[in-house]
């Protein structure tokens, strides 16, 4: 067995020496070392944005190594991963910009969530959710009007709704939402929200601010209504 293994090991060592004994081989070795260092650095990163960019750097390093050796499997694998990581990194960078702009403008409408929401056409009289239903989505009204049946309140386009029940302990709807005319509704589910939060913690803080702002506005309206009732009495 030893006699069989020895020639294999010797051949492998000779190939390594030939590969890395040239200038291109040394560059390939340096590229692979840098790419490996970026992967190790990624294990210490706590957020997804820098992790994606580190992955992009490691892909570039391994592509250079695979092209110079040459190693077709290495070249093919990282050539496939590079555009995926670039796309994801750019997507998260766009999310960060939208969140920062919304925070700077104190935008409580939730429009910055729109690119991550699903579209749904509503017919007149169609019920979005009923009182007591489990809250599994946040909604943004893009077109039309929504009535909160129990209190007779109309929601106009640009209004986010359903967020308070979504974060409530029992996750239960407290009102029924029904379309009073044809419209366009956007929604985002819990799985997507969790993905966005873990990819970008700033998104989570802005979402908390959105919910807190809506709750504060509802409390303010209730206080005004109570004050008006006391004034009339």
Instruction: Choose the weakest-confidence range: 24-33, 77-86, 171-180.
Output: 24-33
Asked if pLDDT for residue 47 goes beyond 70, the answer is no
Look at residue 1 in the predicted model and tell me its pLDDT.
Answer: 43
Look at residue 191 in the predicted model and tell me its pLDDT.
Answer: 79
Asked if pLDDT for residue 71 goes beyond 50, the answer is yes
How far apart CA 47 and CA 96 sit, in angstroms, is 12
Pick the most confident of 90-94, 165-169, 173-177: 173-177
Buried b (16+ CB within 10 A) or exposed e, 75-89: beebeebbeebbebb
- CATH number among 3.20.20.100, 2.60.120.10, 2.40.30.10, 3.20.20.70, domain 111-232: 2.60.120.10
Task: Reduce the DSSP state of residue 127 to 3 states and report it.
Answer: strand
Percentage of the chain exceeding pLDDT 70 = 77
Look at residue 106 in the predicted model and tell me its pLDDT.
Answer: 55
**Paired residues of 120 in beta bridges:** 185
Domain boundaries for CATH 2.60.120.10 within the chain: 111-232
Look at residue 166 in the predicted model and tell me its pLDDT.
Answer: 76
DSSP line for 137-188? EEEEEEES-EEETTTTEEEPTT-EESHHHHHSTT-B--S-EEESS-EEEEEE
Q: What is the band of 78 on the pLDDT scale with cuts at 50, 70, 90?
A: very high
How far apart CA 147 and CA 156 sit, in angstroms, is 9
Look at residue 182 in the predicted model and tell me its pLDDT.
Answer: 94
Quick one: CA dihedral 137, 141, 144, 148, positive or negative?
Answer: positive
């Amino acid at each position: 067995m030893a006699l069989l293994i020895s020639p294999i090991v010797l051949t492998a060592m000779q190939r390594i020496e030939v590969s890395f004994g040239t200038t291109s081989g040394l560059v390939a070795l340096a590229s692979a070392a840098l790419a490996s260092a970026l992967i190790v650095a990624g294990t210490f990163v706590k957020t997804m944005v820098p992790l994606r960019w580190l992955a992009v750097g490691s892909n570039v390093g391994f592509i250079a190594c695979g092209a110079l050796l040459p190693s077709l499997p290495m070249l093919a694998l990282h050539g496939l991963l590079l555009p995926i990581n670039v796309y994801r990194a750019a997507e998260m960078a766009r999310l960060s910009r939208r969140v920062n702009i919304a925070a700077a403008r104190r935008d409580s409408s939730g429009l910055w969530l729109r690119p991550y929401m699903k579209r749904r056409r509503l017919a007149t009289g169609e019920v979005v959710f009923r009182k007591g239903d489990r809250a599994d989505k946040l909604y943004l009204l893009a077109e039309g009007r929504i009535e909160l049946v129990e209190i007779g309140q109309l929601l106009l386009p640009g209004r986010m709704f359903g967020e308070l029940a979504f974060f409530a302990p029992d996750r239960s709807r407290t009102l029924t939402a029904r379309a009073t005319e044809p419209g366009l509704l956007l929604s985002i589910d819990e799985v997507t929200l969790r993905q966005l939060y873990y990819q970008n913690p700033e998104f989570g803080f802005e979402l908390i601010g959105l919910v807190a702002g809506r709750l504060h506005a509802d409390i303010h309206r209730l206080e005004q209504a109570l004050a008006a009732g006391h004034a009339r009495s």
